[in-house]
Structure formats: C-alpha cells, structure tokens
A and B are shown apart, each in its own frame.
Chain A
Amino acid sequence: MARAVTQKRKMINTALAWTIGLLIFFPILWTILTSFKTEATAIADPPVFLFFDWTLENYSVVQERSNYMQFLWNSIIIAGGSTILGVIIAVPAAWSMAFVPSRRTKDILLWMLSTKMLPAVGVLYPIYLLFIELGLLDTRVGLTVVLMLINLPIIVWMLYTYFREIPGEILEAARMDGAGLREEILYVLTPMAVPGIASTLLLNFILAWNEAFWTLNLTAAKAAPLTAFIASYSSPEGLFYAKLSAASTMAIAPILILGWFSQKQLVRGLTFGAVK
C-alpha cells in the first residue's frame, strides 16, 4: 500500500517537474522555432507552432551579415578567462575563510556579497573612465577582469560552502604527513572539492556568458561577445523577429549544449556537499 502511494506520488512529481521544465523552456523553444520561420510567418496571428514552411534563410542572412565566429570567440575567451581567473583567486580565499576563520570572516563574506546588491549602472561611469585611462575599452582583457570581479563574490561563496563540508581533520592529517600549504591545497583539498569546483566553474561560465550590461557598455567592434551580436539584430523600425531569433539561437546554442552535457555535474555540485 505504502509502495503504491509512493509510486503515485512519484508519477505526480514527475509530471509536475516536466510541466514546470517545459514552461521554463518554452520561450527558448519558441525562439528556436521562430528562427526557422519567414518574417511574415513569425508575426502570423494566430501564431503557428510546428506546421509552417521551415526555412534556413534567416541563418544564412545572419551568417552573411555578421562575423559570428568573432563574437563566439570573444564570448569563449571572456567567459572562460574570467571564470578561470576567478577560481584561481577564489580557491585560496575560500580556503583561508573555511579552515582558518578569523573573527571577521563572516563580515568579510557578507561584505563581499553586498557588492552584488549595488545596481551595476551605479559604477558604470567610474569604470568607464578608468577603462579610458587604462586603454581597456573594447578589449577582451578589460572585460575578462570586470566579469571576474563581478562574479568573484559568488565564486568565493560557492567554494567556501563546499570547503566547509570537508572535515578539517583530513587537512590536519595531510599536515602531519608533512604537506605544506601549497601541497595541502593542490593535492588534498582541490581533488576532494572537484565536484564543487566543477559546478562553480560551470555556473560562473554561464553567468559570464549571459552577462549583457558590461559587455554591451564596454565594447564596440573588437571585443564584443555574443550578447552584442544578439542586440545588433533588434530593430526600432522594421520587423526582423525571425532574424533576431536566429541570432539568439546561434548565441545560446553553445551554452545550451554545454549545459545539457554537464547537467549531471551541475545538479550534483549544486545540491550535494563536497564529500557526500
């Protein structure tokens, strides 16, 4: 009897999960479908779902008009660079806060997080002026550094939580065996925290990939990533929804595929502790 109830509940849960999942995915699905329509079909009322003349025309127009590979390459470098740089800085920081906390550790953690509460536009002008001074406008280096700084609090917080779950005794044992600080972090802590670090990397890569405020404001022709590529297809006077959808699909495809393949890692890292 109990088993039957569990079975029934499981079915309900599955159905509910699928419904919510599909609801969340629907806008993306609709964008992908629209990208295969003609501009006239894209605005058709009532809207057509699957039964229309599928066309690849929008993709060929977008390919012809924009240098997609340049935008893609910029996105990969900026998102990848900022994530890796962030983790390199955050691992020692999270280690010290997790294993040798001081009286102020909690305050520092909260203070770091509080920088995320400031609306980004509030510091746009100071950063813009700084970038002019340093010659960093429209450079990948500049954007990598800014995105790293923006995501750093999240990276530190995530790693801190994972590290906290690793028993200090294991590190102590390593120390007893003569491991120095470097060995302790590199050979004991990091391998144990791999799932946590992996999900931190993935999540921050996605955040950096999707970041649109700084990437739009600090770039022009050279360092513009895929967010700028999408924005360039929005039109104040003209209906180019199908082309905009094609550009959007091309921009999200790489990250969607990456997310799909790494979903196990991502979910595990987000829902479990490091050593469970």
Chain B
Amino acid sequence: MHLRTVLCTASALAFVAAAANAQTTITIATVNNGDMIRMQGLTDDFTSKHPDIAVEWVTLEENVLRQRVTQDIATGGGQFDVMTIGMYETPIWAKNGWLVPLDDLGEDYDAEDILPAMRAGLSHDGTLYAAPFYGESSMVMYRTDLMEAAGLEMPEAPTWEFIGEAARAMTDKDNEIYGICLRGKAGWGENMAFITTVANSFGARWFDEDWKPQLDTPAWKEAVTFYNDLLADAGPPGASTNGFNENLALFQQGKCGMWIDATVAASFVTNPNDSTVADKVGFALAPDTGKGKRANWLWAWALAVPAGSDATDEAKAFIEWATSKDYLALVAENEGWANVPPGSRTSLYENPEYQKVPFAAMTLQSINAADPSNPTVDPVPYVGIQYVAIPEWAGIGTSAGQEFSAMVAGQQSVDEALEKAQSLVAEEMEAAGY
C-alpha cells in the first residue's frame, strides 16, 4: 500500500514536471518607455490566455538594444524571440532576411485596421514585418496662457513664420521663459530627426534621384539658418545638448512656450502628476512654409520576430496579443484611455471614449499627414521622413548631427556646418558605392 502511494506520487510528479517542461519560454527585448512598462505589467493577461508560454523580459537602453539586437540577428545568436524595433530598421532588416513575415497573424487580428502610414512604414515589398506597438508623429505643443499673453492665437496648422514670431514674442529670458524648445543633441534619432523634418518643409532633401547629397543647396541653408536663429533668439541655454527627455523636463517645468516633438509627449505634458503646466497645453500640426510638406515625422515602436528564433509561433502569439484591439481595451480598463498606446490602429481613433482624450485628434491628423514614401517636395530615391532608410544612415546622420549640434553651441557657422556635413555625407556615400 505504502509503495503504491509512493509510486503514484512519483508518477504524478513526473507528469507535472513533463507538463512544466512543455512550456515554451519566449524572451522579449524592449526599451524602458512608459507604454512598454505597462505592457510588462499586463503580461499575466497573456500568460493566462496562453498557459503553455512563459515570458521573459530583457529591458535595455535604446542604443544598446539596437546594437544587441543587430549583433544577435547578424550572428544568429537566437537570444531573443520578440524584439522592439523602429520604423528605420524594419525595411532594412526585412530586406536582409532577418525578420519573420507577420502576414499570417490570426483572423481576429484585423491587420487592415492598422493605420495605413504605419503599415506602409513597417512593410517590405508589401509584407508586414513588424507590428506597431505604438506610433507617433511630431506636432507643436504650446502653452495656451503664454500664447494669450503674447496676444497671439495659434492656428491649427501654423507656418514656420508664425512659429518664429510667436517664439520670439513669448520669450522672457529674465524669467527663464523660452519661446521654443527644440532638439539640439547630436544623433540620427535626436537632432537629425528634427532638422530633417524642418528641411523637408523648406523644400530641401538629403539626396537627389542619383543619390547625390544636397546639403549644399539654398533650401538646406534656409532651413538650417532658420532653426539656428530661432534657437539662438528664443531657445533655452545649452540647447545643443537637449534631446527629448531634456526638453520634456523643461516644458514640464513651465520654461518652454512651445515644443515641437513626438506626439507621445502629449500624454506626459498633460499629466498633472508630473507636469506643472498640465492644464495649459494646446496642440497644433507641425509647421510648414506653404511648399506642400509639413515638418512632422513618423515613427513606430514595433514588435518583430528575428529569423533565428526557435519559438516563432509563440512569439507571433505574443505580438498578436500586444498589438491587438483587445490589448488597447485592456489598457483602457486598467489605466484609463489617456494611457492607451497611441498611433497604431484606426479603430482606436473611432472610439468615442478615446476621442475625448485632448491630444487624440491632433495625433491622428499628424500621423495621417506623414507619408514616408513621399517625404519631400522634390522627388527622392529613398523612403523615410526624418531618416533615410538605408543602412548607412545611422552613421551619416549621427556625424552630420554632431556638426549641427556644434553649430547650435556656437562653435561654427551655418555655412561651416553645412559644408562639413555635405562633404562627410558625400564621402560616406561614395565609400558605400552609391
């Protein structure tokens, strides 16, 4: 009798152990942004729906993540099953055969519901390779009280001329109020993202149709001069080292009249827990010069499966969950509509509850106004608005960014910065065989 009990227990334990072994573990690499933190917090919802899948998170600093993930894919290390990547990498990596196509997600997934601009930016040859977790464009965020005090009224679609005038009128340096806060920190995803959108709206482009760099054209000079003068007249001190987070801090402290940056910032600056100006923020479309292109970018933080993963099906199941309509509803239920990851699905913007969120309409308009395959006034051979979707861009964008950052710091003139940027881009492109 005793022996039988022992045997029964042993076989039951063996069964449990076998069942536990049948569980597949997926490793997800991500960054420490608010929406990703919320996703991690809601993982239980996924694992309760998929008890056979266990989830491990690896959170990394953005640049480290990019380098780690590239290194792992290129060498076939197979450390990650789901990775958070951007719109810049997706088409390049898909072309290299590094990503698993996501054209076979479940029937309920409704891929058609993904915003068209996002779908286009995350596809290669018409096939989706990364699913948008959240998307963003850029827009003007401004202080309604300071605008009123300056006796001006922000139009829904301002011109750069108006922005320049308003920024100078709002500036009160003695009281540490600066009319405009803009990115100045060097980096292809930092100052160059912003400067490239300004250039687009002034009719400039990175390359002509023969891949010849165009930084020596009058349009570039006009755009960069405008940016440099604006920061000198109405920007905060030390603007050459300000990136997204630095400007966010300044705006939340009430030191910026306007801030042109990612639409995702809207939920931060209107959050009364962190922002001292939460109830005094208005939104407008990114400015233009009447040439037909606005200075707004398009970006997505997307989830993709690397080709080396040995748990492709499980990874896809996770992506399906994290980028589904149900996930948006789940976040709304737990954290409120303002905290739902924005910019990925059309249905979200049709939801009457979400339409009540103050920045929802402007975010959608900004995203819809962005066209990555047709980013400039004159035709270009590349895709991408605030970047050029070629592997060389990260290098040339960052080197050029250092020149423009030095210019904002007052170490060189606009002409010098443009000249240096032109020659280094030309050199790099020639070496790359363009």
Contact = CB atoms under 8 A, between A and B. Distances in A.
A2 interface: no
B268 interface: yes
B82 to A, nearest CB: 12
A235 B33 contact: yes
B243 to A, nearest CB: 9
A181 B262 CA distance: 69
A234 B32 contact: yes
A224 B57 CA distance: 11
A232 B417 CA distance: 35
A133 to B, nearest CB: 10
B189 to A, nearest CB: 8
B249 A128 contact: no
A4 interface: no
The B interface is mostly helix, strand or loop, or mixed, namely mixed
A93 interface: no
Interface residues of A, number: 30
Interface string B60-93: 1110100010010001111110000000000000
Contacts of B34: 235, 237-238
A231 B67 CA distance: 14
Contacts of B79: 137-138, 220
Interface string B9-42: 0000000000000000001010111100100110
B273 interface: yes
Contacts of B62: 234, 236
**Which of B244, B249, B252, B255 has the most CB atoms of chain A within a 10 A radius of its CB?**
B249
Contact of A239 (B40, B56, B255, B268): B268
B75 A128 contact: yes
A239 B64 contact: no
Given A65-B40, A236-B244, A137 B64 contact: no
Contacts, number: 94
Interface in A218-247: 220-222, 224, 228, 231-240
B355 interface: no
A216 B245 contact: no
B64 A216 contact: yes
Interface in A59-106: 65
**Which of B57, B59, B273 has the most CB atoms of chain A within a 10 A radius of its CB?**
B59
Interface string B246-263: 001100110100000010
Contact of B71 (A128, A224, A234, A239): A128
A232 B59 contact: yes
Contacts of B27: 220-221
A132 to B, nearest CB: 5
A228 B59 CA distance: 8
Contacts of B61: 231-232, 234, 236
A69 to B, nearest CB: 16
Contacts of B253: 43-45
30 contacts: A40-B252, A40-B274, A43-B249, A43-B253, A44-B253, A45-B255, A65-B37, A65-B41, A129-B75, A132-B75, A216-B60, A216-B68, A217-B68, A220-B27, A220-B56, A220-B58, A222-B56, A231-B60, A231-B61, A232-B58, A233-B32, A234-B61, A234-B62, A235-B31, A236-B62, A237-B265, A238-B268, A239-B249, A239-B252, A240-B32
Given A137-B77, A216-B64, A221-B56, 12 more contacts: A40-B273, A43-B252, A43-B253, A65-B41, A132-B77, A231-B59, A233-B32, A234-B62, A235-B32, A236-B244, A238-B245, A239-B274
Interface of B: 27, 29, 31-34, 37, 40-41, 56-62, 64, 68, 71, 75-80, 244-245, 248-249, 252-253, 255, 262, 264-265, 268, 273-274, 276
